[in-house]
Amino acid sequence: MHIQSIPMWTGKGNNYAYLVTDEPTKKSVIIDPANPPEVAPELKSQLAANKIDLTAIVNTHHHWDHAGGNDDMLSEFGKLPVIGGKECRSVTKTPAHGEEFKIGDRITVRALHTPCHTQDSICYFMEDGDQRVVFTGDTLFIGGCGRFFEGDAAQMHSALNQTLAALPDDTKVYPGHEYTKSNVKFCLQVSQADPIKKLHAFAEANQQTQGQFTIGDEKLHNVFMRVQDPEIQRATGKTDPVEVMAALREMKNSM
Ligand SMILES: [Zn+2]
């Protein structure tokens, strides 16, 4: 599979849309094309050059900076299916938790419901041979997680530390925003562990971090995936994993 990141609102929201292509068939989906003026020209040039065959819009959740471009994309590119959570703009298909579908011949997609940031949040785990990736929207960021707008700490604990943690450790993470620099600053306040220091150095040296880290890495440098770690428990003054998650989110919110 080929993944092209399309940054949107750089310097403001620092969002990413992602174009995912099954190379043998050129069948492609566009994930969260929320700002069509930044996404459509790239897609049009690839369509004109016969590099892609656009088959669907895929959304990670209903927020305007993820699903708000759907209607303009549909009027520019024709009547594509919109695969996403049930509150996403003009959605036509909401896959069940664990439901699989294909992109072209080789890419298998599995929808993982991860309610908390929004109740309709879905992560998409994709496999092509031994290449494994997950698009996590605003649920999991590199070194962080989304705010609990529509859910609670128990739901985020389940999303991160059960659903996403169960993916193979070599699964590369593609989040909905580039937030790593500020996330790792918070992680460093909570823990000085080596993997966190390493992530800090990487984020200082690189503008983009999507696809550079795996679920296995997140388990080491993301404090929200270390709620069982005695060091993180001491820093929060809690031991119950859900209470640790809640305390971390409150600490990060007030940073
Ligand atoms: Zn969001």
* 255 residues of the chain, pLDDT tens digit each: 999 999 999 999 999 999 999 999 999 999 999 999 999 999 999 999 999 999 999 999 999 999 999 999 999 999 999 999 999 999 999 999 999 999 999 999 999 999 999 999 999 999 999 999 999 999 999 999 999 999 999 999 999 999 999 999 999 999 999 999 999 999 999 999 999 999 999 999 999 999 999 999 999 999 999 999 999 999 999 999 999 999 999 999 988
DSSP H or E segment with residue 53:
strand 53-58
Q: Is 97 labeled as catalytic in the residue annotation?
A: no
Specify the DSSP class assigned to residue 27.
E
CA of 66 to the centre of ligand 1 (A): 7
Q: Is 65 labeled as catalytic in the residue annotation?
A: yes
* 133 strand-pairing partners: 126, 172
CA of 32 to the centre of ligand 1 (A): 11
Asked if 66 contacts 32 with a C-beta cutoff of 8 angstroms, the reply is: yes
Q: Which domains does the chain have, with CATH numbers?
A: 2-179 (3.60.15.10)
Residue 150: alpha-carbon gap to chain centroid: 17
Q: Is 194 labeled as catalytic in the residue annotation?
A: no
Closest CA to 85 of 125, 106, 113: 113
Q: Is 221 labeled as catalytic in the residue annotation?
A: no
How many CB atoms neighbour CB 218 within 10 A? 28
The model carries a pTM of 0.97
